[in-house]
Amino acid sequence: MKKPLILVTNDDGITAPGLRALVKFMSTIGEVVVVAPDSPQSGMGHAITIDNTLYSKKVKLSDEKDAPIEYSCSGTPADCVKLGLQEILDRRPDIVVSGINHGSNSSINVIYSGTMSAAIEAGIEGIPAIGFSLCDYSWNANFSGVGEIAKKIVSEALKNGMPKGTVLNVNIPKTDGAKPKGVKVCRQAKANWKEKFDKRSSPAGKEYYWLTGEFELLDKGEDTDVHALNNGFVSIVPTQFDLTAHHAIQNINNWNLNE
């Protein structure tokens, strides 16, 4: 039987340790092709390149005999998926896997995440997709405890299929290589960022800003991704990309809009 074709991407860049670990894990499951940004693209959300040229080139980052085919791309994570599907792959992938992100994409972070936007781009095309994130922002994060759970989740998705219009947002607690306590399917916690701008001056006297902030959890529920992660569990949030607030349609229809 032909191995499943797995398109792997990320937002931290093609040389990021998280992606290198994910490539290794996915290579035990299927045929891997990598299309990933040539530089970090964190926080890009679902941005795409429309006002600039887009470049891609084949790269060799491993000397292993069965190393996967890899391409770097000058664009965003969403660009990588679009380019991979339309120009690079010779057949439709069985699944798209994004990550492993260095840092959490739980709760409201999913809105800003390039990792998850890559998965969502695949989902829009009707392809099963999963975004993986490890709750450790260090470049030297320990991904050794992630492999088995990542392989299990991807294998189950390939076996059972994915609900239509849905991708999976998987976050893994920082365990420093230890095995997580288990897996919980959750809802996204309600939260936001209390943001502020750190205003500074350059040596030339020109003002500039650094965005800073603190994560503010507004949700005490025990069925959320944040609660699962805080208690040592992997969280899986089924994530949809239909942004319609269906519950609000009737309310808005009651407005006096046509008189």
Asked whether residue 253 is domain-assigned, the answer is no
248 in a structural domain: no
Question: What pTM value is reported for the model?
Answer: 0.94
Q: Is residue 214 part of a domain?
A: no
Report mean pLDDT in 10-residue bins for the chain, 259 residues: 93 96 96 96 93 95 87 97 96 97 96 97 97 96 92 97 96 91 96 93 94 92 97 97 95 91
| Inter-helix orientation angle 147-160/17-26, to 10° | 50
Question: What residue numbers does the annotated binding site cover?
Answer: 11-12, 42, 101
Give me the number of domains the chain comprises.
Answer: 1
- Per the annotation, binding residues for a divalent metal cation are 11-12, 42, 101
Predicted confidence at residue 66, as pLDDT, reads 84
| Structural domain contains residue 137 | yes
CA gap 127, 130 in Å, rounded: 10
Residue 74 located in a structural domain: yes
Rg of the chain (C-alpha set): 19
CA separation (Å) from 89 to 14, 33, 229?
17, 8, 35
Question: Would 108 be classed as within a structural domain?
Answer: yes
Residue 180: per-residue pLDDT: 93
Helix (H, G, I), strand (E, B) or coil at 214: strand
| CATH number of the domain encompassing residue 235 | 3.40.1210.10
Task: Tell me the residue range of the domain where 110 lies.
Answer: 5-188+220-242
Inter-CA distances, 143 with 41, 165, 173, 235, Å:
20, 29, 11, 16
> What stretch of H or E contains 74?
none
CA angle 33–37–39, rounded 5-degree value: 140
Asked if residue 35 belongs to a domain, the reply is: yes
| Residue 212 resides in a domain | no
What pLDDT is recorded for position 1?
64
